[in-house]
Structure 1
Amino acid sequence: MTNLIRKLWVPVMTLMAITGMGQMPIFKRYYVADIPGLAWLGEPFTVHWVHYAGAAVLMFMVAVITIRWFADREPLTTSGTLRITLLALLICTGYIRVVKNLPDIHFSPTFTMLIDWTHLLFAMLLGVAALWSARTGRRSYTKQTESLRRI
């Protein structure tokens, strides 16, 4: 299961980034949706639901990773702690955005804008942190214990 999650992590996060940007109507405005095969990016309703579906897959993957981490109890690296914190903040603001879209829930325009901007900010910071970690060789989320190093 873990190998499957490792293989799916980058494609799912890429889908989330693309559909997240698609929530802002930039793909139609800048004619990206006119490229053959990308017309769905110009349909706000479709992009919205694909983003929700990607979020469901991401939540499943995060749940599996969290359960495995609690079972193994390996200490986190500094880079891993930073990326997990940013992902948790991104998920929390995403949940608030989902609640905002429910029909009987109404937030003030200022609070809505604050949630939208913080969700975007955490997404950008997570992307920067992930690229920085990959570039500097700090890809691991956990430290290996001494007993595992000897094996």
Structure 2
Amino acid sequence: MKIKRHDLAIRFTHWITALSIFVLFFSGFGQMPMYKRYFVDQLPGLSWSSNFSVTLNLHYFAAILLIFISIYYLTYLFMTKRYDVIPRKGDFKESLQIFASMVGLAEEPENDKYLAEQRLAFAVTAFSILVLIITGILKVYKNLPMAEFSPGAIFWLAQIHNLFTIILLFSVIVHLLAFLIKDNRPLVASMFTGKIDQDYVRHRHSKWWEKLHKNAVSEHVDEVSMGNEI
């Protein structure tokens, strides 16, 4: 039996975010310029990659897409009040326990819908995206005629933008490497189908399983009560 883990809105957010970030990475590194120096533009179909104007416009397009999906996701969170991915007190300690369990030094704690490490990773990724959006907007604004930025401000704006680009890149790599761990692999399919195996939830996400069970019982009681009233 399958249980819904991600609705369509979450899957839409995930894949649009992934697409925009990938394009931002590719177009951003292309402006250094790296692709002519390392002959990337000699690869079939990538002759445009060393064209600064093309990569700049592509970067702007992907940035607009990322801003859109960020606003969309924030609206989704506020409307649905599904804050289960937001970090909680004790997540750092619990994450250490999860890592220790991977090498046999501890028992894995009981997990909710998202593991503590996933909630912390979400926070790092979300904050990095926020900083990149703010610094990116300022980097565009400084090019306008009415903008006045000191050389020092421009320098640090670029450094902060670059720093959080590396942090975001690192978090994406860690996110992908996490699926090399056997216990995490069943989660991959859920980002496509939205569903996950019931036995996996019962075994790996026991806290979430208890909540699902309580909600199911509560809904059943409500249905019976309504039936009796009728």
TM-score, with structure 2 as normaliser: 0.57
Does 2:44 align with 1:36? yes
Instruction: Please list the CA deviations of residues 105-132 of structure 1 after superposition, one character each: whole Å capped at 9, or x if unmatched.
Output: 2422222121112111101101212322
Larger Rg: 2
Q: Which of 149, 154, 171 matches 1:129?
A: 171
**1:135 to 1:35, Cα distance in 2 relative to 1, 3 A:** closer
Q: What letter is aligned with 1:110?
A: G
How far apart in 2 are the matches of 1:144 and 1:87?
A: 28
Q: Which of 110, 115, 124 matches 2:152?
A: 110
RMSD: 2.5
**1:149 to 1:62, Cα distance in 2 relative to 1, 3 A:** farther
How far apart in 2 are the matches of 1:79 and 1:94?
A: 22
How far apart in 1 are the matches of 2:79 and 2:167?
A: 28
TM-score, with structure 1 as normaliser: 0.83
Q: What letter is aligned with 1:31?
A: F
Q: Once the 2 structures are TM-superposed, how far is the Cα of residue 54 of structure 1 from its aligned partner?
A: 0.7
Q: Which of 100, 105, 125 matches 1:83?
A: 125
Q: Which of 59, 66, 74 matches 1:51?
A: 59
How far apart in 1 are the matches of 2:79 and 2:213?
A: 19
More helix, by proportion: 1
What residue ranges of structure 1 are gaps of 5+ in the alignment?
A: none
Equivalent position of 1:62 in the other structure: 70
Instruction: Please list the CA deviations of residues 41-63 of structure 1 after superposition, one character each: whole Å capped at 9, or x if unmatched.
Output: 11111111110011111111111
How far apart in 2 are the matches of 1:125 and 1:103?
A: 32
Q: Once the 2 structures are TM-superposed, how far is the Cα of residue 145 of structure 1 from its aligned partner?
A: 9.8
Q: What letter is aligned with 1:83?
A: T
Q: Once the 2 structures are TM-superposed, how far is the Cα of residue 26 of structure 1 from its aligned partner?
A: 1.4
**Fraction of identical pairs, as percent:** 26
Does 2:19 align with 1:19? no
How far apart in 1 are the matches of 2:27 and 2:155?
A: 19
Q: What letter is aligned with 1:46?
A: V
25-34 vs 47-56, which deviates more? 25-34
Q: Once the 2 structures are TM-superposed, how far is the Cα of residue 40 of structure 1 from its aligned partner?
A: 1.5
Q: Once the 2 structures are TM-superposed, how far is the Cα of residue 149 of structure 1 from its aligned partner?
A: 6.5
**1:86 to 1:11, Cα distance in 2 relative to 1, 3 A:** same
**1:38 to 1:67, Cα distance in 2 relative to 1, 3 A:** same
Q: What letter is aligned with 1:28?
A: K
